[in-house]
Amino acid sequence: MKQVKKARILTPQDLTQILTYIEQTPFAPRNRALVLITVLAGLCAKETAALLVSDVMDEQGQIKDIIHLQPEQTKNKQAHSVIISDQLKLELQRYFTTYHPNTPAAPLFFTQKNAIRGFSQNTLTQHLFWLYKRSGIDASSESGKNTYRHAQSSKTHLSVAK
């Protein structure tokens, strides 16, 4: 029977390393927000790729307190809600200083190739994998979610460098 390998739980040093690397990449604000929404909200690649601007921002342009995921946005096809921490709110506000979507129905995270459609689950999985790999971290797209779950279960506060 084949052993299933769990995605790596990121250490504070790993987070610093990936965020330092990201600052040197094209689309750095988007890449930073992508990684941090997985770490600070525990979203998997499918959920992150499915996010729309309206999922995180209200009509007045304020970041919401909660993301309400619909069944079609989730891996297990069950709706659930995710609290947006104050730290994640700051990161999303930072992201929106560089990303100005023209409609609330726009994807939250655009791709270089297709800003209208955004990432698919597969392209986001690959994108996160390569961000981690190029930063020198052996991690996968599920590492952010596992890091979030580990922090929640151990009551550890995740702190992210500005």
pLDDT per residue over 20-34, tens digit each?
Answer: 999 999 999 999 999
Report percent pLDDT > 70 for the chain: 94
Q: Give Cβ neighbours of residue 71 (< 8 Å, ≥ 6 apart).
A: 77, 78, 79
**Mean pLDDT, to the nearest integer, of 145-160?**
83
pLDDT value of residue 37: 97
What length is written for the chain?
162
**Half-sphere exposure of 125 toward its Cβ, with a 13 Å CA cutoff?**
9
Higher pLDDT, 1 or 89: 89
Asked whether 131 and 80 are in contact (CB, 8 A), the reply is no
Q: How far apart are CA 83 and CA 75, in angstroms?
A: 18
- Angstrom distance (rounded) from CA 83 to CA 86: 9
Tokens in use for 157?
């506060």
| Percent above pLDDT 90 for the chain | 80
Q: Quick one: which of 143, 106, 147, 123 has its CA closest to 46?
A: 123
- The CATH architecture one would assign to domain 12-153 is Orthogonal Bundle (1.10)
Residue-range domain boundaries for the chain: 12-153
φ/ψ (deg, to 5) at 67: -95, 125
**Average model confidence (pLDDT) across the chain:** 92
